[in-house]
């Protein structure tokens, strides 16, 4: 049967798509329904119809799934941040495991997967150490802050996101009160006028240091001293800054940062290692799970202290320093020069003398260094962005023949593609472990261990 736009269908949700949407069938016609959960029976309105499938909007839950839970956040459905809050955490972990498994089997062609149990959190809320709140005006003219609704730039007012730290609300209350008192206008994207664009808050989970950075469309903020004074009443505040962004685009941060009070960075720890984090640095957002992710990468590297290791796509050297605790030498490569600056500084701060960092593309630096020195690597670790590794890089890895490759991935589809390449050329997939870095969202990280086949067979 074919359906058209605006038709109403009743569906039993039997599957979950990779974006967390519910999938059900009505007379052989597949319907994707955002916010529906496996096990629900729902009434949905078809919003868009193709020949054999369509997209529906959930109108009513007729019978709720036994795995449905009350979302902790009242804005979970509208907000673009969380997709899975209505699903029990146990089922979220099952969903993520199945997603990784599905990609490795379908794209990677792997069978008998050596999968370890997913590393989930005990408390899957309030785990984010960073939040960026857009500031704007409500329809009735009040200054508001919150999060963008899914795929739009309209702000859903919410100062108390369930994924962030509880101090966020205190900071936002303080900033908005200051704006009202000093008649400071929020930035308006449509006109390019107004001053305050975003509030960035970073929190050190293991040090309780907090940075507040206002992103402004100008150089100065009225009443800077008064703002510092009121923010300092929150005991965790250790730095207050402004970041200047006068460009009319979607990029949140500009390049210029001015310190109003305190330290120009916060420090946080992952395991035994301290990292300095400035407003512009990339740092994993879930510090509890980051320790477990890097711990897994370190475990899979199987280091004894004599190894030469490459850490490709190293960012600010977070994984590199973790590895340096147990390796002879670690070499990191990263495309962003400022991140390499941070990596070197972090190595120095923690007293590591067995690290070296290179600015450039992994797929260019590694072949060039190998051609120059001819030095072999015992272990190569990669942690690429979503698009995965460049094929030139994979070819260089094959040429260098490390004993092990540890692949840290934020996209299991490109992970599967790259593992297939390596396993067709002499490597064997030994272990895979998904890690839940982003509970309540559909994202999942994965760590995989590959070993060179002893007999060199394909
Ligand atoms: N391992 C780090 C960062 C991982 S994010 C951590 O865990 O914190 C991926 C990193 O790859 C980003 O820092 C990005 O800037 C960098 N990157 C993207 N393309 C790259 C390339 N072709 N070569 C090297 N680094 C690249």
Beta bridge partner(s), residue 193: 188
Q: Is the CB of 318 under 6 A from ligand 1?
A: yes
Token digits for 351? Answer: 């007293």
Q: Is the CB of 262 under 6 A from ligand 1?
A: no
The Cα–Cα gap between 79 and 363 comes to 37
pLDDT in tens, 40-81: 999 999 999 998 899 999 999 999 999 999 999 999 888 878
Residues above pLDDT 90, as percent of the chain:
87
DSSP-assigned letter for residue 255: S
Mean pLDDT for 312-324 is 95
pLDDT of 19 reads 82
Rounded CA Rg of the chain: 24
Mean pLDDT for 96-121 is 96
Q: Is the CB of 366 under 6 A from ligand 1?
A: no
Helix axes 362-373, 391-400, angle to 10 degrees: 30
pLDDT of 81 reads 84
The Cα–Cα gap between 331 and 421 comes to 24
> Strands of 256-262's sheet, edge to edge?
155-157, 143-148, 130-137, 196-203, 210-216, 237-244, 256-262
381 Cβ partners below 8 Å, 6+ apart? 297, 301, 309, 310, 311, 312, 319, 323, 405, 406, 407, 408
Token digits for 90? Answer: 């146990």
The Cα–Cα gap between 416 and 385 comes to 14
pLDDT of 148 reads 87
The Cα–Cα gap between 326 and 85 comes to 39
Q: What is the mean pLDDT of the chain?
A: 94
Question: Residue 405 in contact with residue 426, Cβ under 8 Å?
Answer: no
The Cα–Cα gap between 369 and 355 comes to 15
Q: Is the CB of 76 under 6 A from ligand 1?
A: no
Measured from the Cβ of residue 401, the count of other Cβ atoms closer than 10 Å reads 12
pLDDT of 238 reads 98
pLDDT of 278 reads 87
Q: Is the CB of 340 under 6 A from ligand 1?
A: no
Mean pLDDT for 316-321 is 95
List the catalytic residue out of 82, 389, 410, 423.
Answer: 410
pLDDT in tens, 358-378: 999 999 999 999 999 999 999
> What are the distances in angstroms from CA 2 to CA 129, 252, 291?
47, 44, 50
Q: Is the CB of 243 under 6 A from ligand 1?
A: no
Beta bridge partner(s), residue 155: 148
Q: Which atom of ligand 1 is nearest to the CA of 390?
A: 22
Going by DSSP bridges, is the β-strand pair 8-16/237-244 parallel, antiparallel, or unpaired? unpaired
User: If you measure from the C-alpha of residue 428 to the centroid of ligand 1, how many angstroms do you get, rounded to a whole number?
Assistant: 25
Please tell me which residue, 232 or 148, carries the higher pLDDT value.
232
DSSP string, 82-133: -S-TTB-HHHHHHHHHHHHHHHHHHTT---S--BPPPB--SS-SS--SEEEE
46 Cβ partners below 8 Å, 6+ apart? 3, 4, 5, 6, 7, 8, 9, 31, 54, 55, 56
User: How would residue 289 be classed by pLDDT, with cut points 50, 70 and 90?
Assistant: very high
What is the value of pTM for the model shown? Answer: 0.91
User: If you measure from the C-alpha of residue 390 to the centroid of ligand 1, how many angstroms do you get, rounded to a whole number?
Assistant: 12
pLDDT of 456 reads 60
Q: Is the CB of 293 under 6 A from ligand 1?
A: no
pLDDT in tens, 179-232: 999 999 999 989 999 999 999 999 999 999 999 999 999 999 999 999 999 999
Token digits for 8? Answer: 């109403």
User: How would residue 17 be classed by pLDDT, with cut points 50, 70 and 90?
Assistant: confident
Q: Is 79 annotated in the active site?
A: no
E strands, 246-377, are: 256-262, 266-270, 273-277, 308-312, 329-334, 355-359
3-state secondary structure of 157: strand
Q: Which atom of ligand 1 is nearest to the CA of 284?
A: 8
Highest mean pLDDT among 21-30, 80-89, 288-297: 288-297
Residue 343, pLDDT above cutoff 60: yes
User: If you measure from the C-alpha of residue 283 to the centroid of ligand 1, how many angstroms do you get, rounded to a whole number?
Assistant: 11
User: If you measure from the C-alpha of residue 319 to the centroid of ligand 1, how many angstroms do you get, rounded to a whole number?
Assistant: 11
* Residues constituting the chain: 458
User: How would residue 457 be classed by pLDDT, with cut points 50, 70 and 90?
Assistant: low
Residue 295, pLDDT above cutoff 60: yes
User: If you measure from the C-alpha of residue 251 to the centroid of ligand 1, how many angstroms do you get, rounded to a whole number?
Assistant: 18
The CA-CA-CA angle for residues 213, 215, 221, to 5°, reads 90
pLDDT of 458 reads 55
Mean pLDDT for 140-154 is 88
Question: Residue 132 in contact with residue 198, Cβ under 8 Å?
Answer: yes
Segment among 146-160, 254-268, 411-425 with least mean pLDDT: 146-160
Residue 2, pLDDT above cutoff 60: yes
Distance separating the N- and C-terminal Cα atoms of the chain: 48
pLDDT in tens, 29-39: 999 999 999 99
């Amino acid at each position: 049967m074919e359906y058209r736009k605006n038709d109403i269908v009743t569906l039993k949700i039997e599957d979950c798509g990779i974006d967390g949407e519910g999938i059900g069938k009505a007379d052989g016609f597949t319907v994707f329904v955002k916010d529906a959960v496996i096990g629900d029976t729902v009434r949905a309105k078809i919003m868009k119809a193709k020949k054999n499938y369509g997209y529906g909007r959930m109108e009513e839950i007729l019978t709720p799934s036994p795995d449905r839970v009350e979302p902790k956040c009242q804005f979970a459905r509208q907000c673009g941040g969380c997709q899975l809050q209505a699903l029990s955490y146990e089922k979220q972990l099952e969903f993520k495991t199945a997603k990784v498994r599905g990609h490795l089997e379908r794209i990677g062609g792997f069978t008998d997967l050596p999968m370890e149990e997913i590393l989930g959190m005990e408390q899957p809320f309030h785990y984010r150490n960073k939040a960026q709140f857009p500031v704007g005006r409500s329809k009735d003219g009040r200054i508001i802050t919150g999060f963008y609704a899914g795929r739009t730039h309209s702000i859903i007012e919410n100062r108390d996101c369930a994924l962030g730290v509880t101090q966020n609300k205190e900071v936002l209350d303080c900033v908005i009160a200051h704006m009202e008192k000093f008649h400071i206008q929020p930035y308006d994207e449509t006109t390019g006028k107004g001053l305050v664009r975003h509030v960035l808050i970073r929190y050190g989970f293991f040090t309780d240091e907090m940075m507040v950075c206002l992103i402004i469309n100008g150089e100065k903020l009225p009443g800077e001293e008064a703002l510092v004074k009121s923010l300092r009443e929150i005991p965790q505040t250790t730095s207050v800054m402004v970041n200047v962004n006068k460009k009319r685009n979607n990029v949140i941060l500009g390049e210029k940062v001015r310190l109003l009070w305190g330290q120009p960075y916060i420090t946080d720890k992952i395991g035994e290692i301290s990292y300095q984090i400035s407003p512009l640095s990339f740092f994993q957002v879930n510090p509890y799970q980051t320790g477990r992710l890097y711990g897994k990468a370190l475990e899979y590297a199987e280091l004894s202290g004599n190894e030469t290791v490459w850490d490709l796509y190293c960012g600010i050297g977070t994984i590199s320093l973790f590895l340096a605790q147990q390796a002879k030498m670690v070499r990191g490569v990263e495309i962003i020069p400022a991140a390499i600056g941070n990596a070197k500084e972090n190595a120095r701060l923690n007293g590591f003398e067995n690290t070296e960092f290179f600015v450039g593309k992994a797929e260019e630096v590694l072949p060039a260094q190998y051609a120059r020195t001819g030095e072999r690597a015992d272990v190569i670790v990669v942690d690429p962005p979503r698009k995965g590794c460049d094929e030139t890089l994979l070819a260089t890895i094959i040429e260098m023949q490390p004993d092990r490759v540890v692949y840290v991935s934020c996209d299991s589809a490109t992970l599967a593609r790259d593992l297939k390449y390596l396993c067709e050329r002499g490597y064997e997939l030994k272990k895979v472990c998904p890690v839940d870095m982003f509970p309540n969202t559909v994202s999942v990280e994965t760590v995989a261990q590959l070993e060179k086949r002893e007999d060199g067979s394909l």
